[in-house]
Structure 1
Amino acid sequence: MKYYHVNQRDEIRRIYLQKGPFQPQNYKFPQRAFGGKQRRFNISWFDDNIYWLEYSIKENVTFCLCCYLFKSDIPNQGGSDHFVKSGFKAWNRKLGLDDHKARTPHIIVVQKCQILMNQRQSITTAFEKQTILQEKEYRILLNASIDCVRFLWRQGLAFRGHDKTDDSDNKCNFLEFLQWLAYRCDVVDRVVLKNAPKKKYSIEMQ
């Protein structure tokens, strides 16, 4: 991670975390000799460490995704370094996994990962809420404009006027009626005329 520019690191970490650790399910894990006995990785270990433990098919070892992503921020993990560099492969010692996730450096990086993803979710939620609000404003603005157009059309009144300046006492019929609606409805007043957000409302009376 240290090889990436500092402004890119968090976004790259998010991509890794969104994909999650590589945990093959339909794979025949190869055996390795320990003390004269053949042992292999136990797939049930994924269930106990679903957030961070990943397996390398090529190397037949496991790594810690969280420690890998934040290794440059929290160096000197001591005995846990093999979960980032060489990989953990002591299939006869499940306690090695438990020992790793109980270490302070690992706990810190897991928290960092969770904070990073929560920040991303908060930003996404904020954009979604803003979009919903904008859609409501568009709808109110559109309905108010349509009501004005319908009224003028039914009455056979002209839309345009000769003086549409702000200090005019008698603007065009469309703007006068829209302003009349705004005076009597706070919801409409918040999204039309001077209160309309930029680039959301532009009706030219030709």
Structure 2
Amino acid sequence: MFARLKKILTEADINTVADIEAALSEYDLAALETSLATAQQRRSDLLLTGNDAEILAAEDEATRARLALDRAHAAVAELNRRLEEARAEERKAAISAEYAATSTKVEVAVERINSEYPALAAKILELCILADAADDATTSWSKRCFAGEAEGLPIVDTVTERLELHNRWMVNGLTFSNATRLLPVGKFEGHSIDFESIALYHARHG
């Protein structure tokens, strides 16, 4: 028991929470207190019935029991102190690891967005322009149909109708293009951004 305490106190590589808790579990203070009480009672009994050798032996046993208990109390106190330090270090290490992991995730996301988003957004903007041109064509064709100039051909659905977007949201004038928001990043200037800017907010509200 005490050999392990010496090892705990001198070898830094086993000063983890788990190691210290394992060492603490080896100390049974109640059992040591019982041993001391038993030894002291035996000495008291022998004062009336035993000879000098028996009394001295009992006294020696009581001394050893008291020393074992005192050392155990000292060991438990020291181990508890070490345990609090180890827990604080592990909490600090866990927080540092979380901070590092969070920073890494942000760096990876920002790097990929900066490197990949502008080209991808430009492709989506091409689709928005294509959709607008198609919708303009359907508007012209619808006018021709209403004017009776379509030679009996039917009205052509808009891009929004073909994609069935109008069946999902109650928005007047919804088109693929005006429903798409593309944030400005890098050299891409953005598309349909109608959020209030910070500069405009401060200009309005001070």
Q: Please give the TM-score of this superposition, normalised by the length of structure 1.
A: 0.32
- Decide which structure has greater strand share: 1
Greater share of helix residues, 1 or 2? 2
The structure with more radius of gyration: 2
- Give the structure-2-normalised TM-score: 0.32
